[in-house]
């Protein structure tokens, strides 16, 4: 179902999925980067709070111890009681400062080794303060400078060296811990960089692959559609789009296939109709040829009839002329007949009847002439129509 489900999504949905995938990759890269930077910041903050700051307190303790040691020796060397009291006041202030710095250092996160060194420091420093106050300063204040110096450099001095060694060990462990924390931060930075690079590279590859897949899913059917349209333009209506997705491209492919099928069916119907029209035209041409032949035959018959009518008309005209001549002779003979009296009355009456008959014959001839003229017109029209039918056929 997986790829089919994606193929059937709308183009906008596909693009949104692609962009959202890229966005998710970028968010993952950003979150990993932020988390790593937070861890690195936490590491450096831890180095600062748990390693570097305690080292500064140890440095203050070490400085206070040295100043206390110097004040004790100056007290032993001093001869003026006022100066000795001044050094005693300084020693008291320095003791308080050292105790304060030690208490602050003790609040830091300490390893077992550091706790053991701190315990040794407290023990040695306490013994140093007891010997310093109970022996060295008392002997110095009593004017026993040589005994005070011997005590300061002897057992009391050894307690100071023990406390100083403990502070040095704390320094060493804290510096090593700080170096290890910094190295851990560097390693974490490298690991974070590698992880971020791998995620970013995977995101880029995934984005490119998804973009190529979506572009191919859209562009391939469009290319096929262009080929099909080109084939249709060239007159090939057998091509079809092989796209089965349910997105806009698939709907377009189905519509295009339906349109091509409709055009192919319409052209087939047009071909059948053209064949029918061709057959009808052939039949019409045959009928026109037959009609033209019949018209030509009818025109020939009409021409023959017209010729016969013309001959009849000529004969009738000749008879009319003869009748007119007879009429003229009758008119000329009427005077003679009148002179001949009643003898020729019958002849005159006969001639009158002949004259009437001649007029009737003349009317008949006129009618025949009109019929002949109309017959000629009909023959001419028939010949013209026959010629037109022949040209159109």
SS3 assignment, position 137: helix
> Which conformational region is residue 293 in: left (phi greater than 0), alpha (psi within -120 to 50 degrees), or beta?
alpha
DSSP string across 164-229? HHHHHHHHHHHHHHHHHHHHHHHHHHHHHHHHHHHHHHHHHHHHHHHHHHHHHHHHHHHHHHHHHH
The DSSP H or E segment spanning 236 is none
- Give pLDDT, residue 303: 67
Angle formed by the axes of helices 248-340 and 345-392, nearest 10°: 170
- Give pLDDT, residue 337: 47
- Give pLDDT, residue 392: 67
> How many angstroms separate the Cα of 298 from the Cα of each of 6, 122, 301, 311, 328?
83, 155, 5, 20, 44
- Give pLDDT, residue 375: 77
- Give pLDDT, residue 275: 80
CA 74 to CA 68: how far, in whole Å?
A: 10
CB 148 within 8 A of CB 136: yes
- Give pLDDT, residue 123: 92
- Give pLDDT, residue 245: 62
- Give pLDDT, residue 297: 67
- Give pLDDT, residue 334: 60
CB 38 within 8 A of CB 79: no
Show the low-confidence residues of the chain (pLDDT under 50).
Answer: 295, 337, 344
């Amino acid at each position: 179902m997986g790829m089919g489900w994606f193929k059937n999504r709308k183009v906008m949905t596909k693009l949104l999925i692609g962009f959202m995938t890229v966005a998710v990759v970028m968010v993952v890269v950003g979150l990993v980067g932020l988390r790593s930077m937070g861890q690195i910041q936490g590491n450096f903050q831890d180095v600062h709070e748990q390693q570097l700051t305690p080292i500064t307190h140890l440095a203050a303790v070490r400085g206070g111890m040295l100043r206390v040691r110097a004040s004790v020796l100056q007290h032993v060397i001093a001869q003026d009681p006022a100066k000795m009291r001044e050094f005693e006041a300084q020693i008291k202030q320095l003791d308080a400062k050292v105790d304060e710095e030690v208490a602050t250092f003790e609040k830091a996160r300490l390893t077992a080794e550091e706790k053991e060194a701190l315990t040794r420091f407290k023990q040695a420093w306490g013994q140093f303060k007891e010997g310093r106050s109970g022996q060295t300063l008392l002997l110095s204040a009593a004017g026993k400078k040589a005994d005070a110096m011997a005590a300061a450099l002897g057992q009391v001095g050894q307690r100071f060296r023990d406390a100083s060694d403990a502070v040095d060990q704390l320094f060493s462990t804290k510096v090593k811990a700080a170096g290890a924390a910094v190295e851990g931060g560097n390693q974490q930075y490298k690991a974070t960089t590698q992880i971020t690079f791998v995620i970013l590279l995977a995101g880029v590859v995934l984005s490119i692959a998804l973009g190529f897949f979506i572009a191919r899913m859209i562009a391939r059917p469009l290319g096929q559609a262009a080929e099909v349209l080109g084939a249709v333009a060239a007159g090939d209506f057998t091509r079809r789009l092989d796209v089965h997705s349910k997105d806009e491209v698939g709907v377009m492919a189905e519509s295009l296939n339906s349109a091509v099928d409709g055009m192919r069916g319409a052209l087939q119907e047009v071909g059948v109709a053209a064949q029918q029209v061709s057959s009808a035209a052939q039949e019409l041409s045959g009928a026109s040829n037959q009609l033209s032949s019949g018209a030509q035959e009818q025109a020939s018959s009409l021409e023959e009839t017209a010729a016969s009518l013309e001959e009849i008309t000529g004969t009738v005209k000749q008879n009319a002329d003869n009748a007119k001549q007879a009429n003229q002779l009758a008119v000329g003979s009427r005077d003679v007949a009148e002179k001949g009296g009643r003898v020729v009355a019958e002849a005159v009456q006969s001639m009158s009847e002949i004259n009437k008959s001649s007029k009737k014959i003349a009317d008949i001839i006129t009618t025949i002439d009109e019929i002949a003229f109309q017959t000629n017109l009909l023959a001419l029209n028939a010949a013209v129509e026959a010629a037109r039918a022949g040209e159109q056929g």
